[in-house]
Amino acid sequence: MTPGVRPEVVSAHRVVVKVGSSSISGENAAQIGPLVDALAALHARGAEVVLVSSGAIATGIPFLSLDARPTDLATQQAAAAVGQNVLMVRYQESLSRYGLTAGQILLTATDLEHSTPRSNAQRAMERLLGLRVLPIVNENDTVATQEIRFGDNDRLAALVSELVHADLLVLLSDVDALYTRPPHEPGAARIERVEHDDDLADVELGDIGSAGVGTGGAGTKIAAARHAVAHGIPVVLTSTGSVDAALRGEPVGTWFEAAPRD
């Protein structure tokens, strides 16, 4: 094995990758192509890949002639209905370059809290993976309400990783790693590795995301990583532009060590 390569990444058979709204919408929509390149390369190595993708509302905004992310729930739902369709078309067009097919799965928080819809979602994803289809998961923003929504897709990605018994979770962001404080502030230092029992008490949190279209931040990513590692799933937190290197096992971003599995 190449020195410096993370063996847990290279050996991972089932990988969940999460990408946020600001990374694949608006002026960053072109990043869908390189993201798909990296996912296709991983798929070609024989791995099973699940993509958790935000971006429905952000993608729908310009099609509704809106200047910014809507604040009222009804318009958010309308933007999601339009944007989810466009987003899936963009993903499928890019995946088609590799002869790959996407499968759309939309979930609400209650779907994973109740046994019947949870098992239905799990069965659907298992079958899609068995058929070598690439499931693309998003929150069902068209029917979700403020009271029942996940709040961010970092949490959704962690729950999906648990649901499918993933070997690895990759959380993509606009920032290349976790830092001791927001990276634009003086004295911010990159954190290369987080032990599974590290409470990160010394980390000063700030938002990770740009363009005013995302809902997550460093705090949500840490919470998601903690959920995954507690279930024995290691996590890489890095930038969307580093996804190919991350999936090859290069030591990019921040590595969250998984707790021992029972």
Q: Note the pLDDT tens digit of each residue in 112-165.
A: 889 999 999 999 999 999 999 999 999 988 887 664 466 568 999 999 999 999
* pLDDT recorded at residue 143: 81
* pLDDT recorded at residue 213: 44
In a domain, 1, yes or no: no
Strand-strand pairing, 102-107 and 235-239: unpaired
In a domain, 143, yes or no: yes
* pLDDT recorded at residue 208: 45
Annotated ligand binding at 167? The verdict is: no
In a domain, 19, yes or no: yes
pLDDT in tens, 50-77: 999 999 999 999 999 998 888 888 898 9
Give the DSSP H or E segment for 155: helix 153-163
Cα separation, 133 vs 127, whole angstroms: 9
| CA triple 91-149-160, angle to 5 deg | 55
**In CATH, what number is assigned to the domain containing residue 142?**
3.40.1160.10
In a domain, 154, yes or no: yes
In a domain, 262, yes or no: no
In a domain, 2, yes or no: no
Annotated ligand binding at 21? The verdict is: no
> How far, rounded to the nearest angstrom, does the alpha carbon of residue 44 sit from its chain's CA centroid?
20
Annotated ligand binding at 221? The verdict is: no
Strand-strand pairing, 134-139 and 193-194: unpaired
* pLDDT recorded at residue 145: 66
Greater model confidence, 200 or 6: 6
Annotated ligand binding at 141? The verdict is: yes
pLDDT in tens, 159-215: 999 999 999 999 999 899 999 988 888 889 999 999 988 878 778 876 544 444 444
For the cut 70, the answer to whether the pLDDT of residue 230 exceeds it is yes
Up-side HSE of residue 159: CA atoms within 13 Å toward CB?
Answer: 22
Strand-strand pairing, 14-19 and 168-173: parallel
The tally of domains found in the chain comes to: 1
Which residue segment(s) compose the domain that 189 sits in? 7-256
Cα separation, 76 vs 152, whole angstroms: 14
Annotated ligand binding at 65? The verdict is: no
Annotated ligand binding at 173? The verdict is: yes
In a domain, 135, yes or no: yes
In a domain, 261, yes or no: no
**Is the separation of the CB atoms in 156 and 65 below 8 Å?**
no
**Is the separation of the CB atoms in 259 and 232 below 8 Å?**
yes
**Is the separation of the CB atoms in 229 and 235 below 8 Å?**
yes
Q: What share of the chain is helix, strand, coil (3-state, %, to 5)?
A: 45, 15, 40
103: confidence class by pLDDT, cuts 50, 70, 90: very high
